[in-house]
A and B are shown apart, each in its own frame.
Chain A
Amino acid sequence: MSLLQLNGVKVHFPVRRGILFDRTVGHVYAVDGVSLSVEPGQTYGLVGESGCGKTTLGRAVLRLVDVTDGEVVFDGTDLAKLPDEEMRRFRRRLQMVFQDPLGSLNPRQNIESILSEGMEAHGIGANQAERRERIRGILARVGLPANALSRYPHEFSGGQRQRIGIARALVLEPDVIICDEPVSALDVSIQAQVINLLEELQQEMGLTYVVIAHDLAVVRHISDVVGVMYLGSLVEEAPSDTLYAEPRHPYTRALMSAVPVPDPEVEDNRERILLTGDLPSPANPPAGCRFHTRCPWKQETRCATDRPELRDLGGGHRVACHWAEEIADGRISPTHNAAQVVHGGHTEPAEPAGSAESTGAAAAVNTGKTEKAATAAE
């Protein structure tokens, strides 16, 4: 049985106007119907460009934002409908590591206070001495010196701060840790350290991770299963290797094609898909397939009217595209007015700045960041 299962999770933020009385004038559909399941001991990677709702989804699992609709089933309990106090107690088993290591630590708390706060909230450890003992154990495990206890967050380096954030989650001995961009704020050399630490801890403690990232290389390195999000919904999900070897959804293909390859000859000759147009506003998402406004393979029928469900293509490869098989077989070719498919030699290899300017597409914008991580993961 899966440890964590999301069934049609929706998170809609009301847009309010008014001075004395709130009047809802619309909704931002940040997460709009996501279903996925995470097996125990597994790492589930969530990728997508900024604003696609991956962070909101992660927060929705912990009920840090209200779930509008759908189920978040954790170990047989639907968290979405749990009363606040019971949810609070459940948070011992579901922890989170945040993107900004400094911002997520209270500047006025020393490390001991930061690490013991969770234990106090959940009644772990009879007294301060017992808690301190446990904190020391965790500090050693994440590779921080024992004299860190009385120090304050601003006295540490970025990587150390992220270790503190990880220690804070670990000290409660959770089952699931949701890592929201755990390394994107760190230097490349430190990124590798933190990722390795996360992997070591997973092996030692049998943790289950949900890793949220925009960095394809990081996700590939750490994940067993990867889900790709676009505009609040999952467009493709597959075991990590399968997804990277044969992406089936047009959006995933565009995303993958933005990752530079370290081999210059392959880099020069590989297919690149440059998406045109901007990411539609999540307050007013397009009808039908969310991606049809930018899809190079858009068809006359169905795309603009029917919203594709995730379909299993076999081997756990799920795709939300009406035409996935046809595109894979080459029976449908991309239309050039919607996007540009560039084969080697036709244009210069994309520089991040140039391509971002010419396309405005997130796939290209991601290039710069991915480059960094690709080096880190090597």
Chain B
Amino acid sequence: MSTKTDKIDRLAELTASTETSTGASLWVEAWRRLKGSKMAVIGACIIGAFVVVAIVGPWVAPYSPTAQLWRGEVFTNQNIFVGPRAENWLGLDHLARDEFSRMLVGARQTLLVGIVATLLGFTIGALIGGASGAALVLGGKVGRRIDTVVMRVIDIMLALPSLLLAVSIAAVLGQSLTTVMIAVGVVQIPVFARLLRGAMLAQGGSDYVLAARALGVRKRRIALGHVLPNSLSPVIVQATLSLATAIIEAAALSYLGLGNPDAAEPEWGVMLAQAQDYFDSAPMLAIYPALGIIVTALGFTLLGEAMREALDPKLRS
């Protein structure tokens, strides 16, 4: 090779390795971008605060969330409520329980429902979608058949209004916190399945998959080693966003009275439902749990959106 081409090569090398000489995988780069995103930092802070409250809440709560300590001060029939004061920071609820303690303790259940439900939907949905996508990528007539049948079932699930589906499941399984988790989780299944399958389908048609086949790589390795890892980012983003939806839906189911049968046990959705009756005279009782739900959902949404941007291959520098 002439010196001229050598020079061009050297130039290309220099421009290719500005930052690191060891190379950064896409995950590492995404993490770097995520750290630099304001949205991600705010979202993570909100989520972090929420998780800390959920974990330590019951121990730091100044009063028992179920104890009715100030019975003589709240008279619902006369619309007399106690607002925020020194010993009860957020005031008292309709049964004269400390609202602040109930908010702290309630966070745990809300978080638990959100995480368990999303995990459930994510796991089952990803398994179904992954299997369907893998069948399609592995190819053949059988693979296409399997995919068609699975996807039509998923379509049917997707066609039902999610809240209606959740209500039906909760109605069949009876009233409990587990029911809420299952109901909310099941609703998420088709979303994850479709998303992963679609991503795998798109990746399956890409050039590097063709190149792997030309190289003589076995089909199973192509499906699991090439297609699946490249299809995960939209699903991970969706999982983060789903946490927000799951919390809202769990709250909605609790609000509808399908959650924990023990109404004394604090949960933001239940608290919102109970506060509804006294909304005219004590609106703050509804606003606290509502604000909790909204801010938490916002945190997950912010983080999810930031992750979507960080993982977007089009933004790759």
Contact = CB atoms under 8 A, between A and B. Distances in A.
Nearest to A122: B216
B22, B152, B212: most-surrounded residue (chain A CB, <10 A)? B212
Given A145-B13, A150-B22, A193 B211 contact: no
Interface in B268-305: none
B24 A121 contact: no
Interface string B13-35: 10111000111111100000000
Given A22-B144, A106-B230, A152-B24, A117 B215 contact: yes
B44 to A, nearest CB: 24
Interface in A8-52: 19-20, 22
A20 B152 contact: yes
A19 B152 CA distance: 9
A92 interface: yes
Contacts, number: 106
B208 interface: yes
Given A103-B208, A159-B12, A121 B217 contact: yes
B211 A104 contact: yes
Q: Is the interface of B mostly helix, strand, loop or mixed?
A: helix
B218 to A, nearest CB: 6
Contacts of A190: 8
A20 B155 CA distance: 13
Given A64-B213, A91-B216, A193 B5 contact: yes
A108 B221 CA distance: 14
Contact of A108 (B5, B149, B213, B229): B229
Nearest to A90: B216
A100 interface: yes
Nearest to B206: A103
B23 A150 contact: yes
Interface string B133-171: 000000000001000110010000000000000000000
B38 interface: no
Given A108-B230, A110-B25, A193-B5, A156 B16 contact: yes
Given A20-B152, A155-B17, A160-B12, A110 B23 contact: yes
A272 interface: no
B214 A95 contact: yes
Contacts of A105: 208, 211
Nearest to B227: A106
Contacts of A100: 207
A168 interface: yes
Interface in A129-188: 143, 145, 147, 150-152, 154-157, 159-160, 165, 168, 172
Contacts of B144: 22
A165 B215 CA distance: 11
A98 B13 CA distance: 22
A368 interface: no
A151 B5 CA distance: 22
B13, B23, B213: most-surrounded residue (chain A CB, <10 A)? B23
Nearest to B208: A106
Nearest to A159: B12
Nearest to B316: A154
A118 interface: yes
Contact of B211 (A98, A157, A172): A98
Contact of A151 (B8, B17, B215, B229): B17
5 contacts: A62-B214, A107-B208, A107-B313, A117-B212, A155-B16
Interface of A: 19-20, 22, 59, 62, 64, 88-89, 91-92, 95-96, 98-100, 103-108, 110-111, 117-118, 121-122, 143, 145, 147, 150-152, 154-157, 159-160, 165, 168, 172, 189-190, 193, 196
Give the 7 A-B CB pairs with smallest separation, nearest first. A151-B23, A91-B216, A103-B207, A104-B207, A118-B215, A96-B214, A106-B208
